[in-house]
């Protein structure tokens, strides 16, 4: 399989807010190169959740799993309607959480990883 022709820019403004036991992640659609004629189809949210009772391993890989695919809304003219995204989930106490987002396109490949959101709850 040939490599993708176009990779969208990575999300750089991933932010989080916690209200009681609910986490809300938010970010905006990264700018795309219109000359490549690729449109971002959506974003995939990845989470790593580790018990706070486990010792921190700074050299271990982060065990990310995909937790959501969020599609981009399209207008009738084919342009992107959506400027920003949000993702919400309930948190469990006693865990450290790490999140990242990767965007994807129809005809190209995935973006690079977003900035990382990391916190203990």
Residue reference for tokens 């807010």: 17
* pLDDT tens readout for residues 14-55: 999 999 999 999 999 887 665 555 678 889 999 999 998 876
CA within 13 Å, CB half, 55: 4
Reported as a pLDDT band with limits 50, 70 and 90, residue 61 is: confident
Q: Look at the pTM and tell me if it is higher than 0.85.
A: no
Three-state DSSP at 59 gives coil
Strand order in the sheet with 84-90: 15-19, 22-28, 84-90
Q: Which residues pair with 16 in a beta bridge?
A: 25
How high is the pLDDT of residue 55?
66
């Amino acid at each position: 399989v040939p490599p993708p022709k176009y990779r969208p820019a990575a999300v750089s403004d991933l932010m989080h807010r916690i209200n009681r036991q609910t986490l809300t992640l938010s970010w905006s659609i990264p700018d795309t190169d219109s000359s490549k004629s690729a449109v971002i189809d959506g974003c995939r949210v990845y989470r790593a959740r580790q018990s706070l009772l486990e010792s921190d391993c700074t050299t271990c890989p982060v065990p990310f799993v995909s937790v959501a695919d969020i599609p981009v809304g399209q207008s009738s003219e084919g342009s992107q309607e959506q400027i920003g995204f949000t993702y919400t989930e309930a948190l469990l106490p006693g865990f450290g959480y790490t999140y990242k987002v990767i965007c994807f396109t129809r005809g190209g490949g995935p973006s690079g990883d977003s900035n990382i959101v990391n916190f203990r709850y």
